[in-house]
Amino acid sequence: MPTDFAATRALFDLPAGLCYLDGNSLGPLPRTARERMARAMDEWGRLLIGGWNQAGWMAQPGLLGDRIGRLIGAEPGHTVVGDTLSIKVYQALAAALALVPGRRIVLSDTGNFPSDLYMAEGLLRMLGDGHALRLVEPEAVGDAITEEVAVLLLTEVDYRTGRRHDMPALTRKAHEAGALAIWDLAHSAGAFPVDVTAGGADFAVGCTYKYLNGGPGAPAFIAVAPRHAEAAPAALSGWLGHRAPFAFDLSYVPGRGVERFRVGTPPVLAMAALDAALDIWDAIDMEDLRQRSLALADRFIKGVLDAVPELELVTPREAERRGSQVSFRHPEGYAAMQALIARGVVGDFRAPDIMRFGIAPLYIGEAEIDRAVDVLAEVMERRLWDNPAYRIRAPVT
């Protein structure tokens, strides 16, 4: 039975009248999450230390991991949840570099999320010995995959433009050159069907607070290809990644497969909210989601370009070259976005001039798209950003 997107909106607790096109930054509250969190608080109060076993807290990183694994095409048993995406990037990159001895170049692009680049920078500085990050423009990545490259580190969907890389093609090219590929799925997981197995990804990482709706600061995930699972070393070798954490050995022995990418004590309360959010995803057909997302995005793009020709579309038009976000460029983008938000149409802004709109079909339909087009047209036509209140360039998160 096809997913009923007219019904899924009721699964979220969204403020009445709000047109929320920022789920690519922070997804909304799933209605069951309050109760799930209250239950986790009860478990803490009632079971205390016993909650680790009796409430199953200790097993959650793997269980939640596998539910995300289904959405990204990872093999069962090869995804775990924990930490933040930045930490997961570090783990994946350190492991991947160790699997390609003798090479020292990490190739990424200028469209990668800065934190991925920063984490790589920190790791490579520590490794020293000629290790270096090579950055090229997104369009130049394919040609830059040479036999010098140890690891290709990319975010599949550009956080500003919404441009989507061709994961299978670039991964194949990396493998042909003897390199490994790490894919950051921050703007992919929950945005469209991902298949890291068919795509050949060696490692995949992502966050759960965007399209997956896991809550502010929800834990991240990491998936490792089964062929590397027992060979990949754990650089952040914490006790919960140990083969037998409760033996309290003095030396580290890596846990089985992806388990070694667990680090410290799992974030039980945060995982409760994520658990509720994933209940919704368990019932979603990702192909249906993609069709719906493309239809809504096309409607938005056409509506905006017809009504406001001065906005420059920076997201590729071809379906296979974009994620589930639509971005426009305008010199007054920051102030215009503030004016939009003040009118109940929430997107966000990324420097220097990008207005981003996330299309999440679980709670966005034609009505929201049409209203966003109308309000955007009004703001742009009437220069509503000329209100001085919108001109303060405060940090936008």
Contacts of 253 (CB under 8 A, 6+ apart): 242, 243, 244
Residue 395 makes contact with its own copies by CB under 8 A: yes
Please count the other Cβ atoms lying within 10 Å of the Cβ belonging to residue 131.
Answer: 17
Stretch that binds its own copies, among 68-76, 106-114, 363-371, 374-382 (CB under 8 A): 106-114
Nearest approach in angstroms of CB 395 to its own copies is: 4
SS (H, E, C) the chain: CCCCHHHHHHHECCCCCCEECCCCCCCCCECCHHHHHHHHHHHHHHHHHHHHHHCCHHHHHHHHHHHHHHHHCCCCCCEEEECCHHHHHHHHHHHHHHHCCCCCEEEEECCCCHHHHHHHHHHHHHHCCCCEEEEECHHHHHHHCCCCEEEEEEECECCCCCEECCHHHHHHHHHHCCCEEEEECCCCCCCCCCCHHHHCCCEEEECCCCCCCCCCCCCEEEEECHHHCCCCCCCCCCHHHECCHHHCCCCCCECCHHHHHCCCCCCHHHHHHHHHHHHHHHCCCHHHHHHHHHHHHHHHHHHHHHHCCCCEECCCCCHHHECCEEEEECCCHHHHHHHHHHCCEECEEECCCEEEEECCCCCCCHHHHHHHHHHHHHHHHCCHHHCHHHHCCCCCC
Nearest approach in angstroms of CB 198 to its own copies is: 29
347-376: contacts with its own copies (CB under 8 A): 348, 350-351
Nearest approach in angstroms of CB 32 to its own copies is: 11
Instruction: Return the number of the residue (220 or 380) whose C-beta is nearest its own copies.
Output: 220
Residue 236 counted as an annotated binding residue: no
184: annotated active-site residue: yes
Phi and psi for 283 in degrees, rounded to 5? -100, 5
Residue 327 counted as an annotated binding residue: no
Stretch that binds its own copies, among 196-204, 212-220, 310-318, 324-332 (CB under 8 A): 212-220
Residue 115 counted as an annotated binding residue: yes
108-147: contacts with its own copies (CB under 8 A): 110, 113-115, 117-119, 121-123, 126-127, 135
Residue 114 counted as an annotated binding residue: yes
Residue 184 counted as an annotated binding residue: yes
Contact map string, positions 244 to 283, toward its own copies, x by CB under 8 A: -xxxxxxxx----------xxxxxxxxx-x----------
310-339: contacts with its own copies (CB under 8 A): none
Residue 8 counted as an annotated binding residue: no
Instruction: Return the number of the residue (3 or 8) whose C-beta is nearest its own copies.
Output: 8
Contact map string, positions 140 to 179, toward its own copies, x by CB under 8 A: ----------------------------------------
Nearest approach in angstroms of CB 1 to its own copies is: 29
Nearest approach in angstroms of CB 284 to its own copies is: 21
Instruction: Return the number of the residue (248 or 318) whose C-beta is nearest its own copies.
Output: 248
Q: Which of 109, 184, 275, 348 is catalytic?
A: 184
Do residues 88 and 221 touch, judged by C-beta distance below 8 A? yes
Q: Which of 12, 90, 113, 300 is catalytic?
A: 113
Q: Which of 63, 236, 294, 377 binds its own copies (CB under 8 A)?
A: 236
256: annotated active-site residue: no
209: annotated active-site residue: yes
Nearest approach in angstroms of CB 133 to its own copies is: 9
CA distances from 281 to 3, 35, 67 (A): 11, 18, 8
356: annotated active-site residue: yes
Q: Which of 36, 260, 350, 356 is catalytic?
A: 356
113: annotated active-site residue: yes
Q: Which of 63, 99, 132, 235 binds its own copies (CB under 8 A)?
A: 235
Please count the other Cβ atoms lying within 10 Å of the Cβ belonging to residue 331.
Answer: 10
Do residues 196 and 204 touch, judged by C-beta distance below 8 A? yes
Binding-site entries for pyridoxal 5'-phosphate: 85-86, 113-116, 155, 184, 187, 209, 239, 265
Give me the active site residues, please.
Answer: 113, 184, 209-210, 356
